[in-house]
Structure formats: structure tokens, C-alpha cells
Amino acid sequence: MALSYKARRRWSLVILLIGLPLYIAAALYVVSLFERPSILAELGVYVGLGILWALPFKFVFRGVGQADPEAGAPDEK
């Protein structure tokens, strides 16, 4: 079952406004449980986690910034 354009837009807002801050807080908490590694290793962990969160949601974000394909062409005056 494919999501409509409006549903994908709504879910993308929910993910970005609620899910992403929760994910950031959880990632910071998990990383703080271990001894602080070198700055390059820590940067690598945060970059990896930054990419990892978006992979499951690729289908939600795909095409959200484009015009609504279901609306058709706008009328020109």
C-alpha cells in the first residue's frame, strides 16, 4: 500500500519534528554510556548515526519537496 503525497508530507513532518529529536537524544545517551573516544572516532559515530536514521524513511521523504503530482498543472492567468 503506497502512501499518498499528503500522507507522506504529514509523516515527514512528524518524523522530522518529533522522531529526529528523540533519535538525537537517544544517540547522545547511548554514546555517553561509553568512555569518550578520540574526536575522529566520535565524529565517525555521529556521522554514521546521522545517515542510519534516514535509511528506513527514504520512501517517506522521496518527492516531498516537489509539487503535488496528484494536483495536476496549476492554472495560469
Of the CA atoms within 13 Å of residue 25, those in its CB half-sphere come to 5
Whether pLDDT at 50 is above 70: yes
Q: What is the pLDDT of residue 18?
A: 94
- pLDDT tens-digit readout, 61-77: 887 777 777 776 666 55
- Is the pLDDT at 14 greater than 70, yes or no? yes
> Cα separations (Å) of 49 from 5, 52, 67, 71, 77?
27, 5, 30, 36, 48
